[in-house]
Amino acid sequence: MEEFRKTIRRIIRRNVKQTKGEKQNNMKISDILTEKTPHLSFEVFPPKTDAAYEGVLKATEAIAELKPSYMSVTYGAGGGTSKNTVKIASHIKDKYNVPSLAHLTCVSSTKEEVHQVISQLKEAGIENILALRGDIPKESEFPLPNHYQYAYELIQDIKSQGDFCIGAACYPEGHVESEHKKDDIEHLKQKVDCGVDFLTTQMFFDNNILYNFLYRAREKGVMVPVIPGIMPVTNANQVKRILSMSGTNLPERFKAIVDRFGDNPKAMQQAGIAYATDQIIDLFANGINHVHVYSMNKPEVAAAIQANLSEILNK
């Protein structure tokens, strides 16, 4: 009888969501974050070439069909895929009634080019922007004339151009360009004070790093919601990229998983999904209600994690 009641409740919730339709897809992330039950969101990235667009779109649609609380769409290396960022974010919102969060990276774009993208987002009805400076190109002069030097400058500009919900990045282990964690928190506070509504963290593999970061951030007056970003590592090559990009700390337990299963792709995928699921459960258990998963355009990984959390998420 209890299982029957649960099934009925799920059907009712699904029908309510469907009747919300357009209202739901236009939700701001800041409104979603007021909900006090566990929520999962996913990140996807646009294709690097037009030829790969259909394949990426198919994967994105499969993830959207999971009905996450929202989906973010990255801006691509060097900002070269910005047209597809807007296109995919709009498609997710309009076809699947899933709120979308468009990344906007300014490091390789002039202010005029950024203004054009902001106008495109506004025309598409996309209300959520994740404002990022991006990685400085190697062996390149920076900043160039008429470019942004810091993310807070971009945030101020977005704020002046519309009623957007603005997110920004934060780094639980400290930004690679900051010599001291204290300085990193002060720079973060500066970004938040310019009009940030929420923060999303870089990936981490030890939840204690996040909890310590939250304590330090709150102590310095950073009070906006912080969404943990979780990366399911499903193949050993990802580990090399992670270390080269961010220098993220890898716990011994995580290293043991890679050492044991790294040469077996199916086993590594299963173990990586299990590790990420375990991280998310711990976050939920400690009062964090919203977790963002870097799905790497893999609908099977997103679906497996959501299935592992089905009763927790009521899906």
DSSP for 26-90? T--HHHHTT--S-EEEEEE---SSGGGHHHHHHHHHHHHTT--S-EEE---GGGTTHHHHHHHHH
Number of domains observed in the structure of the chain: 1
According to DSSP, residue 179 is labeled: S
In 3D space, the residue among 72, 168, 157 whose CA is nearest the CA of residue 110 turns out to be 157
pLDDT of residue 9: 47
pLDDT of residue 10: 47
Whole-prediction pTM value?
0.88
pLDDT of residue 156: 96
pLDDT of residue 82: 72
pLDDT of residue 48: 83
pLDDT of residue 281: 98
Out of 2, 3, 22, 43, the active site residue is 43
pLDDT of residue 155: 96
143 cis-preceded (ω within 30 degrees of 0): yes
The Cα 27–Cα 32 span in angstroms is 7
Decide: 178 and 142 in contact? Cβ < 8 Å: no
Amino acid letter at 82? S
pLDDT of residue 239: 86
Decide: 171 and 201 in contact? Cβ < 8 Å: yes
Q: Tell me, what CATH number does 119's domain have? A: 3.20.20.220
Domain containing 206 equals 2-313
pLDDT of residue 26: 72
pLDDT of residue 275: 98
Amino acid letter at 50? D
What is the arrangement of strands in the sheet containing 128-132, beginning at the earlier edge strand?
226-227, 198-201, 165-170, 128-132, 100-105, 71-73, 39-44, 290-294, 229-230
The Cα 217–Cα 185 span in angstroms is 6
pLDDT of residue 24: 62
Q: Flag residues of the chain having pLDDT under 50.
A: 4-23, 77-79
- Sequence-ordered strand ranges (E) for 91-197: 100-105, 128-132, 165-170
Residue entry with tokens 């204290």: 182
Establish whether 43 is a catalytic residue: yes
199 has which bridge partners? 168, 226
pLDDT of residue 118: 94
Go through the chain and tell me how many residues it has: 315
Q: Residue 103, SS3? A: strand
pLDDT of residue 174: 80
pLDDT of residue 175: 63
- How far lies 19's CA from each of 8, 12, 62, 97, 200, in Å? 17, 11, 21, 10, 30
